[in-house]
Amino acid sequence: MNRFMMAAALAVAFAGTAHAAALDQFKTFVGATKSARGEFTQTLTKTVDGAKKTSAPSTGTFVFARPGKFIWTYQKPYEQVLQADGDQLFIYDKDLNQVTTKKLGDALGSSPAAILFGSNDLEKNFTLSEAGTRDGLEWLKAVPKAKDTSFELISIGLKNGQPEAMELKDNFGQVSTLAFRKFEKNPPLGATAFRFEIPKGADVVKQ
Q: For the chain, which residues make up each domain, given as ranges?
A: 3-189
pLDDT given at position 8: 44
What is the band of 13 on the pLDDT scale with cuts at 50, 70, 90?
very low
- Residues of the chain with pLDDT > 70, as a percent, come to 83
pTM for the predicted model, two decimal places: 0.81
pLDDT given at position 122: 74
CATH 2.50.20.10 is right for the domain spanning 3-189: yes
Q: Which amino acid is at 95?
A: D
Higher-scoring residue by pLDDT: 31, 120: 31
What is the band of 3 on the pLDDT scale with cuts at 50, 70, 90?
low
**pLDDT beyond 60 at 17:** no
C-alpha atoms less than 13 angstroms from C-alpha of 90 in its C-beta half-sphere:
23
Rounded to an integer, what distance in angstroms lies between the CA atom of residue 177 and that of residue 43? 5
What is the band of 47 on the pLDDT scale with cuts at 50, 70, 90?
confident
What is the band of 59 on the pLDDT scale with cuts at 50, 70, 90?
very high
Higher-scoring residue by pLDDT: 182, 9: 182
